[in-house]
A and B are shown apart, each in its own frame.
Chain A
């Protein structure tokens, strides 16, 4: 049976984490459960409140509020620890004893996960096609009646230009990926990979961050000149660079 009160888990971190008073989900105080060089950021939660968020008819603002509180705690922990391993929204265990057992059972995986992201933040980068800036300028419609030959030539120029622009886009995106990939410690695909020319998350060491941002500026300028828009979000905690902690029911 689900208990009335449980423990919400935000992240695992190195035990050097020291956060000042911080409130989390449901405005409950966040505490750090420390064991053997690792800690879990956690706060008490009323399970009925969480169930209400997941309800089909729930106000989506409840999810937004939960997500923002979740993220705010992880950011605070990230700022106070050598490394943080963010958990997905809604990881809840029954009580502190269970959290400590989890920490002990998964210590090796947590340590290797933390080592991978130590000293790094995540940046989101997308490239979208904003439309050919030359198309409006040149105009595809004739101002006056034209001959059949003129029509065919105009059609061919039109398709040549579309093909040329497609190639330009692919080349620019490939160049952007190469430059950013060189500076990043890791790359992960984004969720909307299909509808955009590029959708990636980059894991970037903080000491490489100035060079990474500079490269983003250069790539962005080059892309925008041809009507492609580079959008950057970050820095984020390394959400896209942590792997799942498998917990089997048969263990």
Chain B
């Protein structure tokens, strides 16, 4: 079997960026919790996904304008 190719590094255009943001903001394993929670001494801090999605929509609009 041939050696699998490593995942290519990405230099994204606006459209690719929307695909990327869809994945990293909407998917990927969430360590679920509110802004700061205590779990056996673990303090977990998370960005507010709602605000990030607002930013994604701005980027998506810009991507469409540039096309």
Contact = CB atoms under 8 A, between A and B. Distances in A.
A191 interface: yes
A72 interface: yes
A247 B32 contact: yes
A58 B55 contact: yes
Nearest to A45: B45
A244 B24 CA distance: 13
Nearest to B17: A64
Contacts of B21: 63-64, 67
B41 A236 contact: no
A113 B31 CA distance: 13
Interface residues of A, number: 63
B33 A90 contact: no
A60 interface: yes
A6 B45 contact: yes
B30 A207 contact: no
B17 to A, nearest CB: 6
A247 B4 contact: no
A251 interface: yes
Interface bracket on B? 35 or more
Interface in B5-48: 5-10, 12, 16-17, 19-34, 36-48
B67 interface: no
Contacts of A101: 39-42
Contact of A86 (B1, B29, B51): B29
A220 interface: no
Interface string A118-149: 01010010000000000000000000000000
B44 A70 contact: no
A193 to B, nearest CB: 12
A245 B42 contact: no
Contact of A249 (B8, B20, B39, B49): B39
B64 interface: no
Given A94-B43, A246-B32, A249-B37, A88 B7 contact: no
Contacts of B39: 101-102, 105, 247-249, 251
A88 B44 CA distance: 13
Interface stretch (A31-39, A47-55, A155-163, A222-230): A47-55
A243 B31 CA distance: 10
B45 to A, nearest CB: 4
Contact of B55 (A50, A60, A92, A249): A60
Contact of A72 (B9, B23, B33, B58): B9
Closest 4 CB pairs of A and B: A90-B47, A79-B6, A88-B28, A206-B4
Given A206-B4, A233-B16, 16 more contacts: A50-B45, A54-B48, A54-B51, A60-B56, A63-B52, A85-B29, A89-B25, A89-B52, A93-B43, A94-B43, A233-B19, A244-B32, A245-B31, A247-B31, A247-B44, A249-B37
